[in-house]
C-alpha cells in the first residue's frame, strides 16, 4: 500500500532566503558540473562525481547532499538527452543552411 502525504512548507523569511540561496547555488553548481561533464566527456556519476565534488562543495557553498544531488541531476539530464537523440525525439539543427 502506498500512502501519499501532501505537505505545505511555510518557511520564515530567514528560512525562505536560505532556501533561495541554496537553490541559486545548486543552479550555478549544475552549470559548472555540466560544463565539466561536456569538456571531459564524463557523463557517468561514478566518473563525474570524483572530478567535481570537492570543488562544487567548496566554491558553491553547498553541503554534501545538495552537491551529490546536483551531480546526479546533471548526469540524468545528459542520459535523457542521449536517449531522446537515439529515439529520434530530438533533432539537431543544421546551421549550415
pLDDT at residue 97 greater than cutoff 60:
no
What mean pLDDT is predicted for residues 61-79? 96
Q: For 20-32, what is each residue's pLDDT tens digit?
A: 999 999 999 999 9
pLDDT in tens, 10-64: 999 999 999 999 999 999 999 999 999 999 999 999 999 999 999 999 999 999 9
What is the model's pLDDT at position 63?
Answer: 94
DSSP output for 14-52: HHHHHHHHHHHHHHHHHHHHHHHHHHH---SHHHHHHHH
Amino acid at each position: 500500500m502506498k500512502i501519499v502525504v501532501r505537505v505545505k512548507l511555510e518557511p520564515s523569511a530567514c528560512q525562505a532566503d536560505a532556501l533561495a540561496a541554496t537553490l541559486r547555488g545548486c543552479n550555478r553548481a549544475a552549470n559548472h558540473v555540466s560544463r565539466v561533464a561536456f569538456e571531459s566527456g564524463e557523463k557517468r556519476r561514478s566518473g563525474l562525481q570524483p572530478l567535481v565534488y570537492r570543488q562544487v562543495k567548496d566554491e558553491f557553498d553547498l553541503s554534501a547532499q545538495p552537491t551529490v544531488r546536483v551531480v546526479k541531476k546533471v548526469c540524468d539530464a545528459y542520459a535523457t538527452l542521449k536517449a531522446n537523440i537515439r529515439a529520434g525525439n530530438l533533432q539537431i539543427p543544421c546551421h549550415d543552411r
